[in-house]
Amino acid sequence: MRTPSTWRKVCALLIAFFFIVQTSALAAESQRTVLVMGDSLSAAYGLSPEQGWVALLGQRLGETRPGWRVVNASVSGETTGGGAARFPRTLEEHAPDIVILELGANDALRGLPLQPAQANLQRIIDAAHAANARVLLVGIEIPPNYGPEYANAFRAMFATLAHENDLAFIPFLLEPIATDLSAFLPDTIHPTAESQPKVLEHVWQTLEPMLQ
């Protein structure tokens, strides 16, 4: 038979356990999420995952915005079609408050028609907005050997989407390092580990006001 003293200890433990569970649940509910939907430029291609700009963003959020976390749903080689296909499930799984949308480079590198690419990006934007998530659209530029007409149309695609949907917008993800060949891996496409902080700073300038 338990004594009154034992019952008091059991009750105290149950109350403490309940408090911890409730506190953890409230913390989880109050935490907000930045979801990055990107390709190899955001997936730290050729590097350790923790060296990429998205992981560095997560570290910064932990240090300066403890109520925020980052989820990296980027996949190397991803096209806008692939991103649009998997976005609904990703959206449901993570319920983001902000979506950083960085897709399109692989469509262009394969010379794919831009109209479907724009439609795919629009699908992602529409789904994000329907889920009450804000979108930061991140553009990319392609090498000049694809021809000025295609390159200009590709650049304009991002600007049009940003304008028509009233989005926060970064025209060129790699702008701070684009003219420095040493900032890239031997493939001349993906930034080195040393360049990733510069990419983060570039993104942060536009993202930070959205975290308020």
Q: What number is the average pLDDT over the span 9-20?
A: 46
Tens-place pLDDT, residues 75-92: 999 999 999 999 999 999
Task: Work out the pLDDT band at 143, boundaries 50, 70, 90.
Answer: confident
| Strands 98-102 and 32-38, sheet pairing | parallel
The hierarchical CATH code for the domain 32-211 is 3.40.50.1110
Cβ partners under 8 Å of residue 78, min gap 6: 38, 39, 40, 103, 106
pTM of the predicted structure, to 2 decimals: 0.86
Tens-place pLDDT, residues 166-186: 999 999 999 999 999 999 999
Kind and range of the H or E run holding 134? strand 134-138
Q: Which of 39, 74, 190, 202 is catalytic?
A: 190
Q: What integer pLDDT is reported at residue 26 of this predicted model?
A: 36
Q: Which of 40, 42, 74, 195 is catalytic?
A: 40
| Mean of the per-residue pLDDT values of the chain | 90
Residue 61, pLDDT > 50, answer yes
Residue 28, pLDDT > 50, answer no
Tens-place pLDDT, residues 151-170: 999 999 999 999 999 999 99
φ, ψ at 84 (rounded to 5°) = -65, -35
Q: Which of 30, 48, 182, 187 is catalytic?
A: 187
- The answer to whether residue 190 is catalytic is yes
Of 62, 9, 68, 59, give the one whose Cα is nearest residue 34. Answer: 68
- The answer to whether residue 187 is catalytic is yes
Q: Where are the domains of the chain?
A: 1-30, 32-211
Indicate if the alpha-carbon torsion angle 159, 108, 88, 74 is positive or negative: negative
* Cα–Cα distance for residue pair 23/40, rounded to 1 Å: 37
- The answer to whether residue 42 is catalytic is no
